[in-house]
Structure 1
Amino acid sequence: MKGFKYIIILGVLLIIGYWVSDLFYNDESYSQAVLKYRENKDLNFRSVTNSPLPDSVRRRFDKLTYYAPTRDYEITADFMAEERPEPVAMPMTTGTQEPYYVKGKAEFELDGQTHTLTLFQKAGSTADTLFIPFTDQTNGFETYGGGRYLDAIPNGKTIVLDFNKAYNPFCAYNPEFACPMPPAENRLKVKIPAGEKEFALK
């Protein structure tokens, strides 16, 4: 009987140990995947053909700067689909406008508050990925003053907002680009210290 008890205890300990190691492994794997994604982006920015940087800047470019990846900002939000028959006119940094369809809203909890973001799809696009231009309380201090972007794909009634992959618009590197400006409803009253920081040559 004692031996049987020891076997049960050992089994429980093995399960707990497996669960803990799996948790850390998953977090580490996630961080490695984010870092690899960032390395590939740096390679594209150094590329003559793919870089948004002016050539004189590209030749001196080393790498972009980011917050350290953390799963605290990989947030599963509630997704409320919305289909409007007509597109909205998205203001661009050049003073022009481009048509985007509103596809839904994402609602999530952060720092004890409920936040909502509107998700868009560019007119003519057939991609499942939705576009989320947003601002937060880091803009103009640690991140680009004009806001940042996020891409996400709904999964039924939820959507994962991975702010570790928040990125700057191309006009943050080159003012010749026309970039969508985050609408008023996507101005978050909270800091999002995740993703890409303000661009500056080292």
Structure 2
Amino acid sequence: MKRIKYVIFFGLLVIFGYLVKDLFYNDESYNQALLKFRESKDLSFSSVTRSPLPDSLRRLFRKLTYYDPTRDYEVTADFLPEERAEPVSMPMTTGTKEPYFIKGKAEFELDGNTHTLTLYQKAGAASDTLFIPFTDQTNGFETYGGGRYLDAIPNGKTIVLDFNKAYNPFCAYNPAFACPMPPAENRLKVKIPAGEKEFK
């Protein structure tokens, strides 16, 4: 009987070890993919043809700064679709407006509270990717004061909001660009210490 208990105990240990290994491997793979993406973005910012930076800054550019990756800010949200026949006018940083369709809302739990973000799609866009301009309590301190952006694709009734991939608008690097301004309903009353930091 004692031998059977030992067999069961060590069997459970082996299973637990595989689960921990898989979890670590998944996190490690995720981090590596994210770091490769960031390195690729740095290369594009150094490029003469693809960089949003003015030439004077591009010549000095080395790399963008980010928070360390953490799966705590890869959030699976409830996707609440919403179709409107007419687009809304999204205010731009240059004082102009551009048409965007509201495609729904993402509702999620973070830091013990429920938060909601409105999801948009630029008029004329053919992609399934939805655009999420947002602000949070890091803006103006650790991240760009005008807010950041996130892209995500709905998957049935859910949508993954990976804030590790939150990025700055081009106007954070060059005021000549016209960038959508995050609407009032997308102002999160919580810190999101993930994704891209302020460009200095």
Normalization by structure 1: what TM-score? 0.96
1:5, CA displacement in angstroms? Answer: 4.5
1:11, CA displacement in angstroms? Answer: 2.3
1:56, CA displacement in angstroms? Answer: 1.1
Separation in 1 of the partners of 2:127 and 2:10?
A: 50
Query: What is the aligned partner in structure 2 of residue 113 from structure 1?
Result: 113
Query: What is the aligned partner in structure 1 of residue 8 from structure 2?
Result: 8
Q: Secondary structure at the match of 1:34?
A: helix
Separation in 1 of the partners of 2:6 and 2:190?
A: 51
Query: What is the aligned partner in structure 1 of residue 75 from structure 2?
Result: 75
Query: What is the aligned partner in structure 2 of residue 191 from structure 1?
Result: 191
Q: Secondary structure at the match of 2:28?
A: helix
1:9, CA displacement in angstroms? Answer: 3.0
Query: What is the aligned partner in structure 1 of residue 141 from structure 2?
Result: 141
Separation in 2 of the partners of 1:168 and 1:150?
A: 9
Query: What is the aligned partner in structure 1 of residue 164 from structure 2?
Result: 164
Unpaired runs of 5+ in structure 1? none
Query: What is the aligned partner in structure 1 of residue 87 from structure 2?
Result: 87
Q: Secondary structure at the match of 2:126?
A: coil
Q: Which amino acid aligns with 1:12?
A: L
Q: Secondary structure at the match of 1:69?
A: coil
Residue by residue over 1:23-68, the C-alpha shift from the partner in whole angstroms, topping out at 9 and shown as x without a partner, is: 1111111111111111110010001111000011101000000100
1:3, CA displacement in angstroms? Answer: 5.1
**How many matched pairs?**
200
Residue by residue over 1:114-141, the C-alpha shift from the partner in whole angstroms, topping out at 9 and shown as x without a partner, is: 1100000000001011000000011011
Normalization by structure 2: what TM-score? 0.97
Q: Secondary structure at the match of 1:15?
A: helix
Q: Secondary structure at the match of 2:27?
A: helix
Identity of aligned residues (%): 82
Separation in 2 of the partners of 1:58 and 1:97?
A: 28
1:2, CA displacement in angstroms? Answer: 5.5
Q: Which amino acid aligns with 1:107?
A: E
Separation in 1 of the partners of 2:144 and 2:89?
A: 23
Q: Secondary structure at the match of 1:35?
A: helix
Q: Secondary structure at the match of 2:105?
A: strand
1:193, CA displacement in angstroms? Answer: 0.6
Q: Which amino acid aligns with 2:30?
A: Y
Separation in 2 of the partners of 1:128 and 1:2?
A: 58
Extract structure 1 runs of 4+ deviating beyond 6 A. Answer: none
1:10, CA displacement in angstroms? Answer: 2.9
Q: CA RMSD in A?
A: 1.1
Of 151-160 and 18-27, deviating more is 18-27
Q: Secondary structure at the match of 1:150?
A: strand
1:181, CA displacement in angstroms? Answer: 0.3
Residue by residue over 1:54-101, the C-alpha shift from the partner in whole angstroms, topping out at 9 and shown as x without a partner, is: 011101000000100100100000110000000000000010000000
Q: Secondary structure at the match of 1:199?
A: coil
